[in-house]
Amino acid sequence: MDKSQNVETIAVRLTAATGKYTFTDNQNMVGRKVKAIETHLLANVAKSPNGETVCNANAQKCAFLTLQIGGMERIKDIPLNSMVLANRNGNLFEIDPSVITLPKSYVSFSDVSAIVTGEVLLITFYFD
């Protein structure tokens, strides 16, 4: 997949002891079909575009992505670590091109003890 298409990186701000984070709406992605997803590790990206510290590796290992497509959770509990380029030999995590309802999509954690308040998950969506 060509990585030079339309992209949007979203920072999900974390709070200790909270296990589920719903995305806020993003006008740049409304009605757009997402083709691939990438998550970023602290080892590769230290700060978000707004200067926030990227989530530590232990927390990311416990994080799972669920996306609502067409009114249903079509992509459910996919480990964020499976979407890191380094873990995929440089290949993006591709999905069937789909319009995602971000406000009903979320990241959940199986263990909240590794979450550090104020850190962010960085998730990049590639779309049409």
Q: Quote the mean pLDDT of the chain.
A: 91
Sign, CA dihedral 96-70-80-48, equals positive
Domain count, the chain: 1
Contact 50, 11 (CB under 8 A): yes
Range of the domain at 104: 6-127
Domain-embedded: residue 48: yes
Q: Which residues contact 85 (CB under 8 A, 6 or more apart)?
A: 38, 91, 92
Please give the Cα distance from 16 to 110 (Å, whole number). Answer: 13
pTM: 0.91
Distance separating alpha carbons of residues 52 and 48, to the nearest angstrom: 5
Under the banding of pLDDT at 50, 70 and 90, the label for residue 44 is confident
Q: Report the distance separating Cα 43 and Cα 30, nearest Å.
A: 31
> Which amino acid does the sequence have at 24?
T
Kindly state whether residue 1 falls inside one of the protein's structural domains: no
Question: What pLDDT digit, counting tens, does each position of 53-65 carry?
Answer: 999 889 999 999 9
Average confidence (pLDDT) over 3-29: 87
pLDDT given for residue 18 in this prediction: 85
Q: What is the pLDDT of residue 125?
A: 95
CA distance 19 to 49: 24
